[in-house]
Structure 1
Amino acid sequence: MAPRWAKIFLGAGLVLLLAAGLGAVGLRVLVWRYERAVDQQRLLDATARQRTSTTVEGPLNYLIIGSDLRVSNPAGGQRADTIVLAHIPAGLGHAYLISVPRDLRVPIPADAASGYGGGTDKINAAYQYGRVGLVSAALTQLTGVRFDGAAIIDFSGFRRVIDLLGGVTICVDTETRSIHTGHVFTAGCHEMSGAQALDYARQRYDLPNGDFDRQRHHQQILKAILAEMSDAGDLANPVKLDQLFRAVGSSLTVDTNGVQLPDLALALRGIRADDLVGVQVPAHSEMLGGVSYALLDPPADALFAALARADLATWLTANPRWVNKL
């Protein structure tokens, strides 16, 4: 579901700074203070990494993965439960969130580090075989897009972020019963706690479009978190601001591709909740050999080409069907 993330790696803690009414100097100082709270690693495969840079200049592409490792079941391993390509155009004023179906059937290259020999499988299997590096290599091979950074989001950590914000408002389109808790999410707009929001975002059964609706719900929740974070009244309290930064930081593992976090925060500080555009990858569900996969539809190639040439706006204008209502 959505959160350990990065446009929120892009945004999350970063929007807090703006909401607190800080200027460029205050923003930079505060991010330096909390930088150590964020786990920074080299996540991307060399074949998927954009040329390392020390400056932030668009267009930018980030790979964001929500891990389903849960504190209640650490022995259960972790999968890439959410995979999002975040594209920020040259002006750095808004972001496109492109959800990749976790069951998408793709060629996965061999990975020497893990000993995986390569093959065709669901994209989230690449995370099991070789973590973010192999996912990024598979996606670059599929789309032709290289990444300027990556982030992993921890679900349990963002549950705390939502609770510290006092909940988030989510509008439910179709009544949904949780297969995990039995709770019924009725149609309409509701204030949800962290546990409720993450439970809602995990549901895909009984929804008209199954996992594709689940992907849209992930995007909805990320937008709702950013919207709540932009409430200057809530964030005027320095104690609460401190708690939020620590919660966001502890929920993220990021690869900034050589860019300093304060510089990234400063460059992306203008992106707000209303600047997010949700995108669905053209695909459909199909059973192959008794296994359910998501298979790409022909418009996907054109979408990936538009992403590679940084012209998503033109493609989406011509293909509004694939724009998600957030």
Structure 2
Amino acid sequence: MLLAGVAVVGLRELTGRYEQAVAQEQLLDPSARQDQTDLDGPLNYLLIGTDRWRSSGTTDRRSDAILVVHVPTGGREAFLMSVPRDLLVTIPAAPGYGGGQDKINSAFTHGGGGQPGARLLSATLAHLAGFRFDGAAVIDFSGFREVIDLLGGVRICVDTEFRSIHTDRVFAPGCQEMDGPTALDFVRQRHNLPNGDYDRQTHQQQLLRAVLQRTSETSLRSNPIRLDQVIRAVGSSLTVDTNGVPLADLVMAFRDLPTDALRGIQMPSHSQTIGQVSYVVLEDGGSELLAAVRDRRVPQWARANPRWVTQL
């Protein structure tokens, strides 16, 4: 009992250092924010990935990855639900934008990027899904490269050979160790892939799992220099909105979540050309998935729809 108590105190001190290093902002719009977060109940978090989180140029502000992280009651598994970037949605009005139908990743741009962009994106998704979020986070992928390198790289399994359009690197099938630049190049690709952006969504989910896996394998606490480097790198690439919950409490709540309990979900949808513009539109199964989140039935939905579930 004494050793367990010391371990818990040490973990709280460690996460306290993260709390000071990680930027915290109001990323959720009031219409998208859960009134009160209960860490013992089902939880929904919005995760936004971008290369240009604090860019000053409006045309550069894009949300390259949008995921809903759903944790059912008990916290023993988690579902990473990717939202297609070209999903046709109704975006609410915002300062400088009158509202209307557009691709969901444009909500971040119409909001002006940064914090207001994240708020408009959260409001758009909450309006579509019919549920609110217990928190949100923005990952700046350009800074996340350093985190991956400090962890010693990540192990990712490639299913299909393809050539990067950015670096001309060829990704061969098989499981392999990737450094930060290679891993980020891998998750950026959607061209030259059999399923285009759907494959990229799976790769983004794979990267998140791989980072969590490597973090659990790395003895950072026994290497204070490396630990401080990782904390600073995380702080420079991550902005969070915990909905008032101390960051240390979140880490404690999810500390026993095994990485093999992460499930990737592709939102049932298909591409459709409307007015000479290519969009993604929800299928009936997509609406059923959102209803399952609202009704706390995601594990049951996943078992009934294995086509859209990926074991990461």
Q: Deviation of residue 185 (structure 1)?
A: 0.4
1:82 alignment partner, one of 58, 65, 72: 65
Matched ranges for 1:121-160 at <5 A = 121-130=102-111, 131-160=117-146
Q: Supply the AA of the counterpart residue of 1:167.
A: G
Secondary structure at 2:273 match in 1: strand
Distance between the aligned counterparts of 1:123 and 1:48, measured in 2? 15
Q: Supply the AA of the counterpart residue of 2:68.
A: L
Q: Supply the AA of the counterpart residue of 1:78.
A: R
Unaligned runs of 5+ in 1: 1-20
Q: Is the 8 A contact 2:262 2:311 kept in 1?
A: no
Q: Which residue of 2 aligns with 1:9?
A: none
2:170 pairs with 1:184: yes
Larger RCO, structures 1/2 (Cα 8 Å, 6+ apart): 1
Q: Deviation of residue 74 (structure 1)?
A: 6.5
Instruction: Check 1:262–1:50 CA distance in 2 against 1; reply closer, same or farther (3 A cut).
Output: same
Q: Supply the AA of the counterpart residue of 1:57.
A: D
Which string of whole-angstrom CA distances, capped at 9 and with x for unpartnered residues, describes residues 117-169 of structure 1?
A: 11000000000112111111111111111000001000022100111111111
Distance between the aligned counterparts of 1:115 and 1:156, measured in 2? 28
The alignment-based identity, stated in percent, is 56
2:41 pairs with 1:58: yes
Which string of whole-angstrom CA distances, capped at 9 and with x for unpartnered residues, describes residues 273-302 of structure 1?
A: 212110000011122222221111111111
1:116 alignment partner, one of 97, 119, 131: 97
Distance between the aligned counterparts of 1:287 and 1:236, measured in 2? 54
What TM-score do the two structures reach when normalised by structure 2? 0.92
Instruction: Check 1:218–1:58 CA distance in 2 against 1; reply closer, same or farther (3 A cut).
Output: same
Distance between the aligned counterparts of 2:291 and 2:198, measured in 1? 21
Instruction: Check 1:239–1:33 CA distance in 2 against 1; reply closer, same or farther (3 A cut).
Output: same
2:297 alignment partner, one of 301, 311, 314: 311
Distance between the aligned counterparts of 1:317 and 1:90, measured in 2? 17
Q: Which residue of 2 aligns with 1:202?
A: 188
Q: Deviation of residue 57 (structure 1)?
A: 2.7
Matched ranges for 1:1-326 at <5 A = 23-53=7-37, 56-69=39-52, 75=57, 77-111=60-94, 114-130=95-111, 131-233=117-219, 236-326=222-312
Which string of whole-angstrom CA distances, capped at 9 and with x for unpartnered residues, describes residues 63-109 of structure 1?
A: 000012189x8645221100000011110122110000011011111
Unaligned runs of 5+ in 2: 112-116
Q: Is the 8 A contact 1:204 1:211 kept in 2?
A: yes
Distance between the aligned counterparts of 2:123 and 2:170, measured in 1? 39
Distance between the aligned counterparts of 2:221 and 2:258, measured in 1? 15
Distance between the aligned counterparts of 1:192 and 1:168, measured in 2? 5
Q: Deviation of residue 25 (structure 1)?
A: 1.1
Which string of whole-angstrom CA distances, capped at 9 and with x for unpartnered residues, describes residues 18-47 of structure 1?
A: xxx972211111121231211111111111
Distance between the aligned counterparts of 1:138 and 1:22, measured in 2? 44
Distance between the aligned counterparts of 1:241 and 1:22, measured in 2? 19
The alignment yields a C-alpha RMSD, in angstroms, of 1.8
Q: Deviation of residue 234 (structure 1)?
A: 5.9
Q: Supply the AA of the counterpart residue of 1:139.
A: L
Distance between the aligned counterparts of 2:68 and 2:53, measured in 1? 23
Secondary structure at 1:127 match in 2: helix
